């Protein structure tokens, strides 16, 4: 069996920055309790590792003590204020691209623009960005774009991990319905890079394995893209989930979401060599 890795896969810059911040705290030997506000990343294996190292997860500022790390997704400004009011060490590992989206929304709102965010309503990043707007709506797909009512002037912005093609389609719909709407380019290039690398790899393989958390938005989108490429595709979280069916294929391609660490990718690749 031959194994081919996509040119771009695994940790993006923002996730790498956040995980390295927590790993550094662990290695520093700090005696204070270390916690992250919300799960650090959408990867069960990494979260299990951090839990074993004593890193906690909180979702209420009242539970904050010791050292608290803001994850790459960022947080709502009201939550940040409440955390800053407590006697804790607060480390901000918000992805720079998410910070940029927060800034754009805050500035637009201060100018009197209404804000429409495209993304998963329940995602931490979206909830955090929404907190910087005075008049905000959140939509998840083209169907909702066809129905939404908005007040101009307005800014359209997306979750950084949203699919570019769908965002472009939503932008086109809203530009037609509401001429003059301002559209922000907020999608992280890492998302597009992984999508393009997957498509480029697909023509060279017989089947594809997508590695990453089942609750990772960008990993799920990679999987959905792979399904459209007329190849056999599996979405797994670890080497323990490799299906026996892989032995029926000569060339296996591997891609991984932006919250999948290198060591997980390596374990999957190493285990595939046994088939």
Query: What share of the chain has pLDDT > 70, as a percent?
Result: 100
Q: Output DSSP code: residue 121.
A: T
Q: How far apart are the first and last CA of the chain?
A: 7
Q: Where are the alpha helices (DSSP H) in the chain?
A: 13-28, 44-52, 77-84, 96-110, 124-130, 142-147, 164-177, 189-202, 217-227, 262-272
**Overall pTM surpassing 0.75 (yes/no):** yes
Catalytic machinery residues: 125
Render pLDDT for 186-244 as a digit per residue (tens, 0 to 9): 999 888 899 999 999 999 999 999 999 998 888 998 999 999 998 999 999 999 999 99
If you average pLDDT over every residue of the chain, what do you get? 94
Find, among 205, 161, 271, 188, the residue nearest to 6 by Cα: 205
- Tens of pLDDT along the chain (275 residues) come to 899 999 999 999 999 999 999 999 999 987 789 999 999 998 999 999 999 999 999 999 999 999 999 999 999 999 999 999 998 999 999 999 999 999 999 999 999 999 999 999 999 999 999 999 999 999 999 999 999 999 999 999 999 988 888 999 999 999 999 999 999 999 998 888 999 999 999 999 999 999 999 988 889 989 999 999 989 999 999 999 999 999 999 999 999 999 999 999 999 999 998 88
CA–CA separation, 102 and 100 (whole Å): 5
């Amino acid at each position: 069996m031959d194994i081919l890795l996509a040119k771009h896969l695994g940790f993006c810059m923002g996730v790498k920055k956040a995980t390295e911040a927590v790993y550094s705290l662990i290695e520093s030997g700090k005696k204070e309790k270390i916690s992250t506000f919300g799960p650090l990343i959408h990867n069960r294996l990494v979260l299990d590792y951090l839990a074993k190292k004593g890193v906690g997860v909180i979702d209420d500022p009242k539970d904050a003590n010791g050292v608290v790390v803001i994850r790459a997704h960022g947080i709502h400004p009201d939550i940040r204020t409440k955390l800053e009011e407590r006697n804790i060490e607060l480390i901000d590992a918000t992805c720079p691209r998410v910070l940029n989206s927060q800034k754009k929304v805050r500035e637009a709102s201060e100018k009197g623009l209404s804000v429409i965010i495209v993304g998963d309503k329940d995602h931490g990043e979206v909830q955090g960005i929404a907190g910087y707007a005075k008049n905000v709506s959140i939509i998840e797909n083209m169907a909702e774009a066809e129905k939404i009512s908005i007040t101009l002037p307005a800014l359209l912005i997306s979750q950084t991990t949203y699919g570019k093609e769908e965002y472009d389609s939503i932008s086109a719909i809203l530009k037609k319905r509401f001429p003059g709407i301002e559209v922000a380019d907020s999608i992280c290039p890492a998302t597009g890079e992984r999508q393009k690398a997957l498509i480029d790899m697909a023509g060279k393989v017989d089947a594809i394995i997508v590695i990453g958390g089942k609750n990772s938005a960008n990993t799920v989108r990679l999987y959905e893209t792979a399904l459209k490429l007329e190849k056999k595709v599996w979405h797994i979280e670890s080497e323990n989930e490799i299906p026996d069916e892989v032995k029926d294929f000569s060339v296996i391609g591997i891609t991984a979401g932006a919250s999948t660490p290198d060591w997980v990718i390596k374990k999957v690749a190493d285990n595939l060599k046994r088939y």
